[in-house]
Amino acid sequence: MIRDPELLDQLIDTISRFVRERLIPNEARLAEEDAVPPELLEEMKEMGLFGLSIPEEFGGLGLTMEEEALVAMEIGKTSPAFRSVFGTNNGIGAQGILIDGTPEQKARYVPRLATGELLSSFCLTEPDSGSDAASLRTTAVRDGDHYVLNGTKRFITNGPEADIFTVMARTDPSNKGAGGITAFIVEGDTPGLKRGPADKKMGQKGAHTCDIIFEDCRVPAENIIGGREGQGFKTAMKVLDRGRLHISAVCVGVAERLVEESLNYAIERKQFGMPLADHQLVQAMLADSKTEAYAGRCMVLDAARRKDAGENVSTLASCCKLFCAEMVGRVADRAVQVHGGAGYIAEYAVERFYRDVRLFRIYEGTTQIQQLVIARNMVREVS
């Protein structure tokens, strides 16, 4: 559901130019310094990238799901770490507050998330609780008008820098399932909140993660999202459809960039007296990658339009995440193969992307979790 095609075209053109002229030339610097250059961060704020999916009433751009997907595909044509820094503010860092937060919580935090004044983070995963999120152990015990949080969260995106955290903690120890979990907004300077050292990862340099440790961390009761205990896991699940479609769109963008890199190299590089692109087996790899990237684009846009139309797209969002995350891995593998030995050398972008895209099959729900969601929803619909 595109509301104003002309305005959207202008936005996409602006972002495409920003990616092409500012981000792509700084990809090597991002990886080398393991940080988004400060001047680029400021440009992202000025462009409104921190508020893409935040409603206009809170200072964001208020994009529909289809519009956001098209923008995400453009942003996906550069290193994923550039997107990661503002992606949480548009996704799980803000959407939970927008969907279930109190009016006071929305007014206090969301406008500053939209401008990038605040950097957000989402704390669900723990050392012994990843895909099985309902079994988390972090506790929140009521003490007067506060809750005391204890526990450790793991692999937390933006953890080293975040200003606010959406934290899932168990408030009802007698309820071992999802119903005992409550969502809290915890400000980054709260006493008792500690940040572990930044994780050293396989890829996505510049997108930082770390452990977040709570040791008798006192959080005001008014910081429960929505003001009610036991709703935290439901809040987390509500934001997943949009997040999975967003990541799927990013995967499509990365795949399209890799197809472009592969095609250009195949045209320029010669083997056996002719360009690689004239060899049929290379052509087959290019064709397969183009086809899969196109299929992913069609899937994401169809699901996004259905979501904008008010349909329940839980199954379709998981289908998109499953296909697109796996698809971009295959495209990246072919891109390295087309480049041959050069694809294994850090000088070429495909080497970096090959490592970067591996994460897409893990976060926002692993491939195996998507399979379970899809199958269970299919059975439930028939039953």
pLDDT, tens digit (0-9, with 9 covering 90-100), for 83-133: 999 998 998 888 999 999 999 999 999 999 999 999 999 999 999 877 776
Can you give the pLDDT at residue 236?
85
Q: How far is CA 241 from CA 56, 113, 303, 304, 366, in A?
A: 21, 20, 10, 10, 14
Which segments of the chain have a pLDDT < 70?
A: 1-2, 133-134
Can you give the pLDDT at residue 312?
94
Can you give the pLDDT at residue 91?
86
Dist. CA 210–CA 370, nearest whole Å: 25
Can you give the pLDDT at residue 133?
66
Can you give the pLDDT at residue 3?
79
Can you give the pLDDT at residue 17?
97
Can you give the pLDDT at residue 1?
59
Got the DSSP string for 148-178? EEEEEEEEEETTTT-SEEEEEEES-TT--SG
pLDDT, tens digit (0-9, with 9 covering 90-100), for 248-298: 999 999 999 999 999 999 999 999 999 999 999 999 999 999 999 999 999
CA pseudo-torsion sign 236, 239, 241, 246: negative
Residues with a catalytic annotation lie at: 364
Instruction: Please give the angle made by the CA atoms of 212, 246 and 292, to the nearest 5 degrees.
Output: 125
Q: Which residues contact 245 (CB under 8 A, 6 or more apart)?
A: 65, 68, 69, 300, 303, 304, 307, 313, 317, 320, 321
- Residue with token string 């929803």: 377
CA pseudo-torsion sign 241, 242, 243, 244: positive
Q: Do the beta carbons of residue 71 and residue 57 sit within 8 Å?
A: no
Can you give the pLDDT at residue 172?
93
Copy the structure tokens of residue 147: 């809750």
Copy the structure tokens of residue 165: 């955290």
